[in-house]
Amino acid sequence: MNLQAPVPPANRPPRIEVIGVTGMPEITEGDRLGGMIVSAAEGQGTPVETDDLLVVTQKIVSKAEGRTVDLDDVEPSESAQKLAEETGRDPRMVELVLRESRAIVKTDSRRGIIVTETKHGFVCANAGIDTSNVPGDGIVSLLPERPDESAARIREQVSEELPGVTVAVIISDTFGRPWREGHVNFAIGVAGINPIKDYRGTPDAYGEILRVTSIAVADELASVGELVSAKAIGVPVAIVRGYGYEQGPDGVGALLRHRSMDLFR
């Protein structure tokens, strides 16, 4: 039996509730997201409670932090122009991708794909820069500069708004994966929850020691959020209730495999 997660008695099965937060207003630079989430959740009759975990989609965080760029203001460098030509992409967009990245991981000229390692250490297409769900023609959103701090800030704002209430916050974004079709949501910022649940060294159901498994629960929770927040339907935040997360050390760093340990770059 796992010491961290004792089996609930048969009459109390483990249960998690995931609630989409609707009714958030259009987000603009400087908005205090924590407060707005608390109000919107209250307004729909599902107030934020202590030990809730909030999954907040990247787009509203970037907007609140002014991380949007008008492509018309971008002057592509020579290397951006070269890569843009190779991949058939907008040179201004490629310029932003290069600025936001510390390494190019892979490009596919035929399909116009540029996979990079962002300055944060995320490996994803286009450095996470996105043209959807941003108001205005030619306006794109960049990832938050320090998503762990963004998550911590929202977490603090919630506690300021609701004294005595402590939550965890995950900022999520939608990335593709090698080998699998379809995108899923990943954690890009983590506050108040250990993003990894480590089963190594704990006995399995037959008393054998589990040697390999540590679970990226923050990524799984980001995916859970996506199922209610979904694209383009005005639900940018999910409340996950009843998941007994471990408060432990937070930050997204524990989820990022070091280059030297990675077989696929």
Shortest Å, Cβ 19 to a copy of itself = 5
Spell out a b/e string for 111-133, using b for 16 or more CB atoms within 10 Å of the CB, else e.
Answer: ebebbbbbebbbbbbbbbbbeee
Beta strands 53-57 and 168-175 are parallel
Q: With CB under 8 A as the contact rule, which of the stretches 63-71, 86-94, 144-152, 221-229 interacts with a copy of itself?
A: 221-229
Nearest one of 195, 208, 242 to 1, comparing CA atoms: 208
Rounded Cα gap, residues 35 and 1, in angstroms: 40
Q: Name which position in 17, 29, 49, 145 contacts a copy of itself (CB under 8 A).
A: 17
Asked if residue 138 lies in contact with residue 70, where contact means CB atoms within 8 angstroms, the answer is yes
Shortest Å, Cβ 224 to a copy of itself = 5
Is 50 a residue that touches a copy of itself (CB under 8 A)? no
180: left (phi over 0), alpha (psi -120 to 50) or beta: beta
Within 145-174, the residues that bind a copy of itself by CB under 8 A are 174
* Total of residues contacting a copy of itself (CB under 8 A): 86
Within 57-96, the residues that bind a copy of itself by CB under 8 A are none
Q: Name which position in 28, 50, 249, 265 contacts a copy of itself (CB under 8 A).
A: 265
Is 115 a residue that touches a copy of itself (CB under 8 A)? yes
Q: Name which position in 70, 85, 109, 227 contacts a copy of itself (CB under 8 A).
A: 227
